[in-house]
Chains A and B, each alone.
Chain A
Amino acid sequence: MITIDMLCYYSRLRYMNAMEKFTYAMLTLLFCVVSRSLAMAVLVLAVNGILTVKKGGIPFSRYWHYLMIPLAFLILSTLAVIVNISRTPFDAFAIPVGSYHLTASYASIYKGIQMILTALASVSCLYFLSFNTPMTDILSVLKKLRCPDLLVELMLLIYRYIFLLLGISFSISLSQDARLGNRDLKTSLRSFGAMASVLLIRAMTRSGALFDAMEARCYDGRLQVLEEQYPPKRKEILWILFFEIFLLILTIWSKIK
């Protein structure tokens, strides 16, 4: 989780206009899901891979590693869709189990692969966004898209405080380790419970202190902040437009066919 957060700060695409990246990721995701075509999925996977690894400079091994995480789930879940238990064997393969068959048809295998690739391509769209855009930039896009202020402000605070809480919990567990707090199951259960209760108390005091500090800076109920400005580039917009129109045509074509 921490590494996933750090990646975007080192990405070379970080200073690209966030709205551009957001629009690209969302439109591509939409076309991917709507068309469900194999060709589209492969194309999107390839383009996102090139953008994130080549343009963004995220190490390929990292990117591959993060793509493999959902893949494991996808394979397991599509297996259930592909494989049937039936009295009559289908055309692809059939393993007899008593009077039944563990069987699948070519059509369902094709469908399964299509599903896996579509899902993976969709994930790659979201990865493109999150590997190349800091959270605060995504939030500013949400704000521009008229997402309710309350939600955006909550997300802003939660994002910041996740790291504070993680830091505190890390140092508490470190000091517990230093005093043999995790030597066996019993002590580690007790240590974990103690940490959880301390974390709650700390979180409460922190939130009180934060509110005081914000009040001290004339907080009036609205979290107004300025964003760093990365103006959109005409060339990038043209490329995105070109690519999305191409995907649109592909989608329409795959639906007509």
Chain B
Amino acid sequence: MSETPILRAENIYYSYDNEKSHSLNGLSLEIFRGKKIAFMGANGSGKSTFFLCCNGINRPSKGTLYYCGEPYDYSRKGLLRLRSKVGIIFQDPDDQLFSASVYQEISFGILNLGVPTEEARREVEQVIDRLEITPFRHKPTHALSGGQKKQVSIADILVMHPDIIILDEPAAALDPKHTIMVNKIVDQLTQEGITVLMSTHDVNYALEWADEIVLLHEGQVLMHGSPLEVFTDKKILAQTNLAQPAVLQLFESLCKKGILDASLPLPRDLGTLEHYIENIQTSHNKEETDTCPQK
């Protein structure tokens, strides 16, 4: 491929305990602009550690990370530049929200970029409007619900207009309404050409949403490929304790029973599968109406 990856990790190692054990164990990876990438793997497989490396918070002990082909520059200035391009939304909003005021909280990142006050004010208002924060913008952050805190923590990063947004298990501890809301926001982001990296345990969502899936196992990339490639590889799934998405399971068993044609392209969401089943029904009906008059 001629295009330079927006983010590239080359054989990186990271350890939390002075090299006794490694959370990242020679991880190599290439990520291209505008892609939606789901990171999957058991707890402790290195997803969060890798994300913190991408943002320059964790510095790998060995190996190199590249942003747009340039190796990471860990000087003060280089880090500021990097972090203005790579935004990370933490799993627990309480780790991220430092102010009791929603408005102050959102304005923090953009002011750090050196944007003039008036422009920052406009941007903050815009993001408050866009993420539907207006109904609770005057509440103190400690009185917000988990979902509302998540909305604010996403706004924190969106306001900085990064090229890459990293979401660390955004759906953790969210109710269905807020999960849908977060998913909608993520879809909008990719439409704007922002590269989104997301860690998730939801195989169904990953199959439907992602362009690529990165399976991590013990600090290494076990598999990196399209969702259909990854989710049809049962050996790999068993190794990482992941279940196959429900759509694929159902499709497979319908094929085995001869109800569906196994040559059909694999469905990625319930809608497609439903469509397949609808088609047999209608073709079946057609056959019946065709054969009836002859009798």
Q: Does A219 contact B (CB under 8 A)?
A: yes
Distance between Cα atoms of A46 and B57 in the complex (Å): 56
Which residues of B in the span 76-92 have a Cβ within 8 Å of any Cβ on A?
76, 80, 83-84, 87-88, 90, 92
Q: Which 10 A-B pairs have the closest CB atoms?
A: A226-B107, A163-B142, A225-B104, A218-B112, A209-B95, A217-B109, A136-B101, A224-B111, A213-B96, A228-B103
Which residues of B in the span 95-142 have a Cβ within 8 Å of any Cβ on A?
95-101, 103-105, 107-109, 111-113, 117, 120-121, 124, 138-142
* Chain B contact surface mostly: helix
Which residues of A in the span 223-243 have a Cβ within 8 Å of any Cβ on B?
223-228
Interface residues on B, range: 35 or more
Chain B residues near A157 (CB, 8 Å)?
98
Min CB gap A173→B, angstroms:
18
- Interface pair B100/A159, CB less than 8 Å apart: yes
- Interface pair B108/A9, CB less than 8 Å apart: no
Residue of B nearest to A223 (CB): B108
Distance between Cα atoms of A17 and B109 in the complex (Å): 25
Chain B residues near A210 (CB, 8 Å)?
95-96, 98
- Interface pair B124/A226, CB less than 8 Å apart: yes
- Interface pair B104/A227, CB less than 8 Å apart: yes
- Interface pair A225/B100, CB less than 8 Å apart: no
- Interface pair B57/A212, CB less than 8 Å apart: yes
A sample of 18 more A-B contacts (CB under 8 A), given A164-B142, A213-B96, A216-B90, is: A6-B143, A134-B101, A136-B99, A156-B104, A160-B100, A163-B100, A167-B142, A209-B90, A212-B52, A213-B90, A216-B88, A217-B109, A220-B112, A224-B111, A225-B99, A225-B105, A226-B120, A227-B103
**A9 and B139 contact, Cβ closer than 8 Å, known pairs A160-B100, A212-B52, A227-B103:** yes
**A206 and B95 contact, Cβ closer than 8 Å, known pairs A163-B142, A213-B90:** yes
Interchain CB contact (< 8 A) of A135 among B97, B100, B111, B138: B100
Which chain A residues have a beta carbon within 8 Å of chain B's beta carbons?
Answer: 5-6, 9, 14, 134-136, 156-157, 159-160, 163-164, 167, 206, 209-210, 212-220, 223-228
Distance between Cα atoms of A215 and B117 in the complex (Å): 21
Interchain CB contact (< 8 A) of A218 among B94, B100, B113, B141: B113
Q: Does B182 contact A (CB under 8 A)?
A: no
| Interface CB pairs A-B, < 8 A, 17 | A134-B100, A136-B100, A136-B101, A136-B140, A160-B98, A160-B142, A210-B96, A210-B98, A213-B90, A215-B83, A216-B87, A217-B83, A217-B108, A224-B111, A225-B104, A225-B107, A228-B138
Which chain B residues have a beta carbon within 8 Å of chain A's beta carbons?
Answer: 52, 55, 57, 76, 80, 83-84, 87-88, 90, 92, 94-101, 103-105, 107-109, 111-113, 117, 120-121, 124, 138-143, 156-157, 160
Residue of A nearest to B112 (CB): A218
Chain B residues near A213 (CB, 8 Å)?
90, 95-96, 98
- Interface pair A9/B138, CB less than 8 Å apart: yes
Select the residue from B87, B108, B117, B138 with max chain A CB neighbours within 10 A. B108
Distance between Cα atoms of A9 and B144 in the complex (Å): 13
Distance between Cα atoms of A248 and B25 in the complex (Å): 73
Residue of A nearest to B102 (CB): A228
Distance between Cα atoms of A220 and B80 in the complex (Å): 9
Chain B residues near A223 (CB, 8 Å)?
98, 108
Chain B residues near A219 (CB, 8 Å)?
108, 112
Distance between Cα atoms of A218 and B101 in the complex (Å): 19
Min CB gap B274→A, angstroms:
41
**A218 and B80 contact, Cβ closer than 8 Å, known pairs A209-B90, A213-B95, A224-B112:** yes
Interchain CB contact (< 8 A) of A226 among B95, B103, B142: B103
Distance between Cα atoms of A210 and B83 in the complex (Å): 16
Chain A residues near B84 (CB, 8 Å)?
218
Distance between Cα atoms of A129 and B99 in the complex (Å): 20
Distance between Cα atoms of A157 and B120 in the complex (Å): 22
Min CB gap A46→B, angstroms:
30
Chain A residues near B83 (CB, 8 Å)?
215-218
Residue of B nearest to A137 (CB): B101
Residue of A nearest to B96 (CB): A213
Chain A residues near B94 (CB, 8 Å)?
164, 206
Chain A residues near B109 (CB, 8 Å)?
217-218
Min CB gap B17→A, angstroms:
15
- Interface pair B99/A160, CB less than 8 Å apart: yes
Interchain CB contact (< 8 A) of B117 among A136, A164, A226: A226
Min CB gap B205→A, angstroms:
25
Min CB gap B125→A, angstroms:
10
Chain A residues near B80 (CB, 8 Å)?
218, 220
Distance between Cα atoms of A214 and B107 in the complex (Å): 12
